[in-house]
Chain A
Amino acid sequence: MCKRSLFILLLLIGAVGISQNKPILFGYEDIPQSLMVNPAADMPQGMHIGIPFASHLYVHGGSSGASVYDIFKDEAGINQRVTQAIFDLKPSDFFAANQQLEFINFGWKQKQSGIYFSGGIYQELDVMVYFPKDLAILAWEGNRNYIGKAFDLGELSVTGEALTVFHFGASKKVSKNLRLGARAKIYSSIAHFSSTGNKGTFTTVIGDGTVNIYEHLISNADIEVRTSGIQALSDAESGSATVNQFVKRGMLGGNLGLGVDLGMSYDFDKHWTLDASILDLGAVFHTGDVERYESKGDFVLNGVEFVFPALSDGQETVDYYTGLTDQFNMEVPRDTITTGYVQFRPTKLNGSLTYGFGEFGEGEDCNCLNKEDARWREGVGAHFYSIMRPKRPQFAFSVFYYRKLTSFLSAKVAYTWDEYSATNLGMGINADLGWVNFYLMTDNILRYGNLAKAKNVSLQLGLNLKINKQ
C-alpha cells in the first residue's frame, strides 16, 4: 500500500546526508532566495517581495546510516533489524533535522549604485544527534556480554536550536569581473541545547584479586549539557503561554547573537564563473535563562560491603546504600550552573565553478545566467559544500546542470556525493508567471518510488513577487 506521507516523512526523517546543503539553490539566480546562500548572487530583477510566510519553506532531516525502510520494512524480525542497525552504524553516523521558514523577504536594486539590497526575517530549527553507539549497545544489550569493554561516554554528542534570524545584505558588482556580497544577521535564540565534547568511559571488569566479582568503573567522566531558553518555555503554564514565550524569545526577547554571510562571484571569462560564500559566521551569546549541567570524576563500584557491626538492641543498622550514593555524588559531582556561554553557529562554506553556454535565439526574452556580456541559456558545473559540526566538518560535492527552458521556466538538476550517499539526484524548477515567482526543489528523486528507502530527502519551495525585471 502506497501512503501519501511525503511531508510526514520529511518531518520525521527527512534529508540529510549533509544538512542545509542547497546545491540547487546555490547559483540559481532566477530565485531571489539564492541570495540567502550567496549574498553576492546577481539578481536579474529590479525588486522582489517574498509572499509572507510562503517565500521559503525548507525541510530537511535524515540519517547518514540507516533508512526508515531498513528498520520498518514490512517483514517479521524488527528487533533483529534494530540490532543489526545498532551494530552497523558508527559513532560518526548522525541523525539531523533542519527546517527554515521565511516570514518576510524583500530586495531591490538601487539604480544609481547598482547595489542589490535585500533583507528579511526567517525562523530556523536545527537538530543534530550523533549516534552514541556504545550507549545504544549498553541500553539494548546490557553489559553482560561486554565485560571488559570500555563504553565510550564521549559518543554522546547532540545539539539543537530554534532561533529567528533578522538579516540585511547587499550585493554589488565591484569590477568588470567581480561581484561581492555581504549580509549582516541578528540571531534571536528561542531555545538551545547541546552536549558535545564529552569524555569518559564506563567499564565492567571481572575482578582478579578485587573485593567482589566485578568492578564497575566510571573513568575520566566529563559530561556537560548546556541549555538556554528551555526553562522559560517549560515554565509556561499553558499552551498559549508557551506560544507567547516562543514568539517573545524569537522576536529579540531572548538571547541574541550576531553573524555575517560573505559571498563573491568572479567571472574568469565569458563562460567560466566562480561563486563562493561563507554563511553564518557568527555566534549566539547565551546570557539569560541558562542552565548548564556538569558531571565529572571517577568512581569504582564493587557493590555493598557488609561489615557486620556489633549492634545493641534498637540501634540503627549501617545505611550502606546512602553511603554509596553519597560517595558517588562526592566523586562524580553533578553541578547545575547558570553561567552564560557562547554558541558558535554551524558555519557553512559553498563554492561552485560554472561553465555557461548556449545563447538564446533572437527575440527570446531571457536573463539566464546574466553575466552582462553573456546571457547563457545553460550552465554546467560543480559545487562544493561544507558545514561545521560538533565532531568534524562535513562535506558534499555536487555536479549540476542548469537550463532555461522557456522565457518563464527554468530547471536545474544536481547529482550529489556526500560522505554517506552517492546516489542523490536532486532537481529544482523555477517559474516566473508575470510578477509571480514560484520555485520547488527536492532531493533524492531516485527514491521517490519509495521514500522509506531514502536516507536523504529534502524539500524547499516558495513564492515571491519579482517586479521590474531587467
Chain B
Amino acid sequence: MLLRSLLVCVIVATAYACVKDTDFDQASDIEATPEIELDLVYFTLTPPQFTLDTDSGRPISVRDTTDIRFLDDSFVQDALKRVEYYFRFSNSIPSEFNANVRFLNGDNDVRYQFDIDVAQGALDTPVITEHIEILATRAQIRRITESSKVVVRVTIPEAPQTVEGFLNLQSKGTYFLEY
C-alpha cells in the first residue's frame, strides 16, 4: 500500500516537477572582475650612457620602446575599466632625471603620456622615486586601449659628473577588468 501511494506520488511529481524561485536572467549579470598584476618594463642605466652632445648643448636623453600588443586587443578594449601603472626608480647617480612615458598607437601617435621627476641620488645610498599613474576615466581607458607601444625617454639636464652609479627602473601595471 505504501509503495502504491509512493508510486502515485512519483508519477504526479514527475508530471509536475518544476523549477521555481530561480531567475536565469541573472546570467547576464554575472561579471568577472579580475585584477591582473603584470610586469611592464625595466632597465638599468649608467652615466656613460648619457653622452654629452657638445654641438647642441641640449639636455641629454636616451629612449627605448617596445610593443605591448595586448593593450589594443578587442577583448581588453571591452573589458578594461581601470589601469594603475607603478614605476619605481632607484637612483644612485648624483643627478636628477626626468622620465617621460608615452603610449603610442600603431601610427606612432601619442595616445597618453606622463612625466616622472626622478630625485637626485647618492652613490652610497640609492634614492627611491615612486610614481603611480592611475587611468580610470572612460577617455583615459580608451586612449590606453588604442595604444600598442610604450616609449620611455630618460633625460638628464646636464652631463653627469661621475661615471659611477646607476639609474634603475622597475615597473608594473595593474589591469582591472570586467567581463
Question: Which residue numbers of A lie inside 8 Å of B, CB to CB?
Answer: 1-6, 9, 68-69, 72-74, 78-79, 82, 138-145, 147, 204, 207, 211-216, 301-309, 317-322, 401, 403, 405, 411, 413, 427, 429, 440, 442, 445, 448-452
Contacts and interface: CB of A to CB of B under 8 A. Distances in A.
Given A6-B17, A450-B20, A452-B21, A216 B152 contact: no
Contacts of A405: 3-4, 7
A11 to B, nearest CB: 13
Chain A interface SS verdict (over half): mixed
Could you say which of A72, A143, A147, A403 has the most chain B C-beta atoms within 10 Å of its C-beta? Answer: A72
Contacts of B18: 2-6, 448-451
A301 B39 contact: yes
Contact of A142 (B11, B36, B65): B36
Given A69-B22, A212-B170, A139 B67 contact: no
B11 to A, nearest CB: 8
Contact of B88 (A204, A213, A442): A213
B50 to A, nearest CB: 10
B142 interface: no
Contact of B10 (A1, A429, A450): A429
B38 interface: yes
B27 to A, nearest CB: 7
B171 interface: yes
Given A213-B171, A303-B41, A448-B17, A142 B7 contact: no
A405 B3 CA distance: 8
B64 interface: yes
22 contacts: A2-B18, A72-B27, A78-B29, A79-B29, A138-B34, A139-B34, A140-B34, A141-B32, A142-B37, A145-B35, A212-B39, A213-B88, A304-B41, A306-B66, A308-B49, A321-B66, A401-B3, A411-B3, A427-B10, A442-B10, A445-B14, A448-B14
A213 B36 contact: no
A308 B37 contact: no
B107 interface: no
Contacts of A3: 18-20
Given A212-B171, A214-B37, A306-B43, A72 B64 contact: no
A409 to B, nearest CB: 8
Could you say which of A139, A302, A448 has the most chain B C-beta atoms within 10 Å of its C-beta? Answer: A448
B42 interface: yes
A401 B2 CA distance: 12
Contacts, number: 175
A317 B19 contact: no
Given A303-B38, A308-B64, A452-B22, 19 more contacts: A2-B18, A72-B22, A73-B23, A78-B30, A79-B29, A138-B34, A141-B33, A143-B36, A144-B37, A214-B37, A302-B42, A304-B68, A307-B64, A319-B67, A320-B66, A411-B3, A445-B9, A445-B10, A449-B18
A304 B70 CA distance: 14
Contacts of B30: 78-79, 82
A73 B21 contact: yes
A212 B42 contact: yes
B110 interface: no
A450 B19 CA distance: 5
Given A139-B32, A216-B38, A308 B3 contact: no
Contact of B19 (A207, A319, A440, A452): A452
Contact of B20 (A2, A207, A401, A442): A2
A235 to B, nearest CB: 26
B21 A308 contact: no
Could you say which of A73, A78, A440, A442 has the most chain B C-beta atoms within 10 Å of its C-beta? Answer: A78
B177 interface: yes
Given A5-B18, A214-B172, A451-B17, A305 B42 contact: yes
Contacts of B171: 212-213, 303
A392 B144 CA distance: 47
Contacts of A142: 34-37, 177
Could you say which of B41, B66, B174 has the most chain A C-beta atoms within 10 Å of its C-beta? Answer: B66
B45 interface: yes
Nearest to B150: A304
Nearest to A302: B39
Given A79-B30, A212-B172, A321 B43 contact: no
B112 interface: no
